[in-house]
């Protein structure tokens, strides 16, 4: 989940390079700048909240929270493991592992509990065949192919091969970019639902009192905002590319 903070920033920098293919446009620079600024502000707020709520103790570590939540939801074939780094937490549906970063795995705090419960929310989605998660999983091969082709087209543009002078190639770019944009949009309900499941379980478990519950909710809110910013930025860029190709004449 939270590792998307880094990915969103990297994607913003990566996509900004496409300005050199199309020619620098003030509108495009505004879109890139706004997306980058939003990602930095949200990332900073998320890190501050995580640091703050890591100081609020709970009786259980993140790993213990994850184990208990999984078992209480009848999930016995998913392992909870520790992975290096900070904010690298995620659920792997292929290996069936809840991967918790070292600070989350070992620490007993509101922040750790919120993150661990969120990742378990994805495991529950997987078990229940949650429609949006299934849709996103099916999109992964198309997204991987689209991302590679976008990179190839961009490299060709850097090499001066003139591919982007063709309206057909521009339409291909828009189509491929639309796939990655759709993926970022589909990710939103998946992440929000996982957070909802996490908060419901935390409340029912009695693990956190009302004040701690609000802290957990706030931490998950800022984590979700990273996905919202990424999706909005991707949609804005797609619209820009679409307007450009519609106004293009061979």
Find all residues with CB under 8 Å of 210, minimum gap 6, and list them.
none
Set 119, 128, 203, 212: catalytic member:
119
Task: Note if 119 is an active site residue.
Answer: yes
Rounded-to-10 torsion of CA 132, 68, 56, 106: -100
HSE toward the beta carbon, residue 8, CA cutoff 13 A: 29
Provide the annotated active-site residues: 119
């Amino acid at each position: 989940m939270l590792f998307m903070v880094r990915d969103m920033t990297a994607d913003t920098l990566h996509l900004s390079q496409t300005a050199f293919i199309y020619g620098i446009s003030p509108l495009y620079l505004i879109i890139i700048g706004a997306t980058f600024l939003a990602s930095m502000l949200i990332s900073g707020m998320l890190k501050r909240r995580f640091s703050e709520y890591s100081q609020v103790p709970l009786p259980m570590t993140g790993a213990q929270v994850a184990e208990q939540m999984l078992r209480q939801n009848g999930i016995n074939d998913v392992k909870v493991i520790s992975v290096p780094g900070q904010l690298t937490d995620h659920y792997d549906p292929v290996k069936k592992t809840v991967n918790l970063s070292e600070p989350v795995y070992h620490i007993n705090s509101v922040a750790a509990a919120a993150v661990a419960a969120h990742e378990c929310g994805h495991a529950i989605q997987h078990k229940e065949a949650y429609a949006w998660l299934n849709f996103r999983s099916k999109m992964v091969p198309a997204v991987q192919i689209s991302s590679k082709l976008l990179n190839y087209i961009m490299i060709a543009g850097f090499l001066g091969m003139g591919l982007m002078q063709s309206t057909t190639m521009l339409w291909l770019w828009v189509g491929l970019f639309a796939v990655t944009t759709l993926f970022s949009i589909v990710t939103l309900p998946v992440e929000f639902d996982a957070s909802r499941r996490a908060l419901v379980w935390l409340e029912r478990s009695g693990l956190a009192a009302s004040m701690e519950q609000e802290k957990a909710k706030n931490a998950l809110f800022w984590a979700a905002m990273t996905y919202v910013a990424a999706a909005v930025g991707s949609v804005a860029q797609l619209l820009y590319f679409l307007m450009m190709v519609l106004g293009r004449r061979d």
